Chain A
Amino acid sequence: MNRREFLQCAAIMVSGLTASQLGIALTEEQRVYLASAPNYNTTDVDYLSEEQRQILAAMCEVIIPKSDSPGAIDAGVPHFIELMAADWFSDEERGIFDAGMADIEQRIPQEYGNRFDLLPPSDQLEILEALEEDASDHPWYEFGNVQRDFISDAPFICQLKELTIWGFFTSERGSKEALRYNPMPMTFDGNIPLGPNDSSWAGGF
């Protein structure tokens, strides 16, 4: 919904309808009127080579694979990470990321005989697990260490995991299909049953 449409809604509002009546009259789009803002993940970026993109996508998918719900690739996570690498990382973080990508690009074909994204899933998992093993003493893994912006010296694998998980659960498909999404619940109930397979609510950072 654009600004003009929103103003029309606002006009209904000041004409005396109470907003809860209005809430019911509004469409989903209208209620979430910032729907007019572009999805961040649709922004263009040109940071990685085509080959690196394939590799990055494969790595993200090992972290959050497609199952009965979408995986990292479905949710646009590889593109999100490319955007973050280009626009958000500090020089230090970007250096670690670039070196990590270069390492996978060059070392893996030598050790496994093929590019990361063309290897069988078991090899891909083994490679990332080995990276995690090497990094396992880093404070990034410390219990409760999530209330911070980013850890600038975090190893490549930690960068990858943090941005994959963040990117996935804040994406539209991750929020709506792996989590539950409802921006306008209208009521509060503090005690509803939670089934064994029910997921958390999305959103509201």
Chain B
Amino acid sequence: MANIIDTTNYDFDAIVVGSGISGGWAAKELTEKGLNVLVLDRGKPLEHSVDYTGEHAPDWKFPFQGKKPRELYKEEYPIQSRVSHSFNEANRHFWNNDKDNPYVNDPDKPFMWARADVVGGRSLLWGRQTYRFSEQDFKANATDGHGIPWPVEYDDIAPWYSYVEKFIGVNGRNEGLPQLPDGEFQKPMPWYALEETIGERLKKKMPNVTLTNGRAAILTEDLPGRSACHYCGPCPRGCSTGSYFSSQSSTLPAAKATGRMTVVANALVDRLEHDPETGKISAVHVIDTQTRERRSYSARVFFLCASTVATTQVLMNSTSAVFPNGLANSNGVLGKYMMDHPLGTMNLGVFLDDMDSYYSGRRPTGLYIPRFRNVGEQDQDADFLRGYGYQTFVARLDWSARFNSKGFGSKLKNDLRKPGQWLWALAYFSECLPSESNQMKLSNKVDRFGIPQVAFDFTWGKNELAIRADAEKQADSIMKAAGAVLSLPASEGMSMPGEGIHEMGTARMGDDPNQAVLNKYNQAHDVANLFVTDGSFMTSSSCVNPSLTYMAFTARAVDYAVKQLAEGHI
């Protein structure tokens, strides 16, 4: 292939902006197909394993033995530190510094933009939940008229799901459910005794509900260069054995092995240059975040994979005489139809079962209850469209849940030393309808590099509220059927927009160039050598975690782009 693609006039064959989940895939596929690729990332350089400085660190090695440095978080990480299940002193260096890199956050309509600031992006931080969209998901827009129809069907993408799953390594259990297609799974992780107990009860009392393994991009069997999980537990600190999928452990090493990848860190892309003569992108403009030096690089084809918000920011900032409203935005939909999954812990159940059963090892994923409402067709009793699923977690209380107990001395110490009750928690993730009014824009404020800051205008609609109410009701029934002695509703109200960290849809795909920014191969309708394969392209959101879908579409887009290059269409 390499000889077909003439690089004499370009710095590289292809440029990939972003090295996170989608950028890593673009880099791997492009290099493996013979292209010389430059990967640019605004984040700091990071060396796999060497820079996981918090990995396996025991509590007593942390500043304040793990009590949060409150002042620092408030000053410099007020947004990122809200991701309390992932953000801490062990991995703070992976995250964006909010003070240095602000956006306009309207206090009346807050939006939580969680982002990484290292090569590897959020692939180092993610929860690794990995699910396929179903046939019903790809048909939803066309069926109920919200958003525009997907230009792709399940059958088109299924082989790419398989391709990606085999490489990243996903453990899980096949269930034969149409709403959650099976995939290429490694052996599932074992269950806690309490989960077995709950599973049995649900089978009898709520047969429409399936309890299955959370499908997670974590190895239970070795893959080349990566080994099965050693169950240490706190994954977002990085995983030097490569047991969970990250760009750092998997796609970037594969790309590097071809000898055709160049990675430049601290390289913030502020705009793309459109050449009105050829109608194509001719270069990217980059600011070195350390020296502020400006550079530009040229290539034949460009992949934007900087994550939904950042990619759309780059497009919006790349104005020209041809595209005064932002690159590839001749139809004006860029930035609109933004989505994020509403989520929340619905119920915490206390159980008195299996009290003399314990565990060893920390299983880094929970169980999953796939969508069971409006499956196939609309349920009679449902006053909402589409659906939701629950991620479920088991925990056995320890001292950290009871350190405010009364009492002193040996009795207190002994009580705190020993495990307490078992808990089972249900956290719902629901679909968000694509709505024109939910959008991001550029503001008049600029950041330290003179780039206009992003602003959000995003609120939950009626359907998202109605789903939440249903999820709450059903969670209570599930808890009761599961045998909880006490079922506590755990949180009130909607999550903050953005808090799902599944922002998507700002440069949606579709067959109609008047309504969509991208075509069905993630190629800009307006610009032949521009591809966008992060969450920006999403036309609907399903209720399952989206990153697997970004990866599958990225691999498919590269396949198409390289063929188009070879045939001289780009």
The interface of chain A, by Cβ under 8 A from chain B, is 3, 6-7, 10, 13, 16, 18-23, 31-35, 37-41, 62-65, 67, 69, 71, 80, 83-84, 87-88, 90, 125, 128-129, 132, 136, 140-142, 144-146, 149-150, 158, 161-162, 165-167, 169-172, 175, 178-179, 181-194, 197-205
Contacts and interface: CB of A to CB of B under 8 A. Distances in A.
B45 to A, nearest CB: 16
A35 B56 CA distance: 9
28 contacts: A18-B225, A19-B241, A31-B56, A34-B58, A37-B57, A38-B61, A39-B60, A40-B62, A40-B63, A40-B65, A64-B413, A125-B408, A125-B409, A128-B408, A129-B408, A144-B401, A150-B67, A165-B403, A167-B65, A169-B400, A182-B360, A185-B360, A186-B231, A189-B361, A192-B358, A193-B356, A200-B418, A200-B419
Nearest to A42: B60
Interface in B353-371: 354-363
A198 B65 contact: no
Given A13-B49, A185-B362, 14 more contacts: A20-B228, A40-B63, A65-B413, A88-B69, A125-B408, A141-B406, A171-B60, A178-B417, A181-B58, A183-B56, A187-B361, A189-B360, A200-B418, A200-B419
Nearest to A200: B398
Interface residues of B, number: 72
Given A191-B192, A191-B193, A193-B358, A146 B406 contact: no
Given A189-B359, A198-B418, A166 B403 contact: yes
Contacts of A181: 58
Interface stretch (B154-162, B232-240, B285-293, B438-446): B232-240
A192 B64 contact: no
Contacts of B49: 10, 13
B331 interface: no
B361 A188 contact: yes
Contacts of B357: 191-194
B60 A67 contact: no
A185 B232 contact: yes
Nearest to A143: B404
A129 B222 CA distance: 55
B56 A204 contact: no
Interface string B56-88: 111111111111111000000000000000001
B50 interface: yes
B416 A32 contact: no
Q: Secondary structure of the B side of the interface?
A: loop
Contacts of A203: 58-59
Given A23-B227, A62-B409, A129-B408, A190 B190 contact: yes
A10 B242 CA distance: 12
A6 B359 contact: no
B218 to A, nearest CB: 11
Given A10-B50, A19-B240, A80-B65, A33 B233 contact: no
3 closest A-B pairs by beta carbon, nearest first, are A19-B241, A188-B361, A34-B57
Contacts of B356: 193-194
Interface string B32-55: 000000000000000001100111
A189 B59 CA distance: 23
Nearest to A152: B70
B362 to A, nearest CB: 6
Contacts of B57: 32, 34, 37
Given A65-B410, A175-B58, A200-B399, A19 B359 contact: no
Contacts of A190: 190-193, 195, 359, 363
Contacts of A188: 189-190, 229, 231, 359-363
A40 B241 contact: no
B246 to A, nearest CB: 14
A109 B58 CA distance: 40
Contacts of B50: 3, 6-7, 10
Given A187-B360, A189-B359, A20 B227 contact: yes
Contact of B408 (A10, A63, A186): A63
Interface in B400-450: 400-404, 406, 408-410, 412-414, 416-419
Interface in B369-408: 396, 398-404, 406, 408
A121 B55 CA distance: 42
Contact of A170 (B60, B70, B189): B60
B230 interface: yes
Contact of A87 (B64, B232, B243, B354): B64
Contacts of A140: 404
B227 A146 contact: no
A197 B227 CA distance: 35
A18 B358 contact: no
A88 B66 CA distance: 11
Contacts of B58: 32, 34, 172, 175, 181, 183, 202-203
Contacts of A7: 50
A11 B53 CA distance: 17
A194 B56 contact: no
B419 A162 contact: no
Interface in B192-227: 192-193, 195-196, 222, 225-227
Nearest to B228: A20
Nearest to A14: B225
A7 to B, nearest CB: 7
Interface string B232-261: 111000001111000000000000000000
Contact of A39 (B56, B61, B232, B400): B61
A174 to B, nearest CB: 9
A166 B400 CA distance: 8
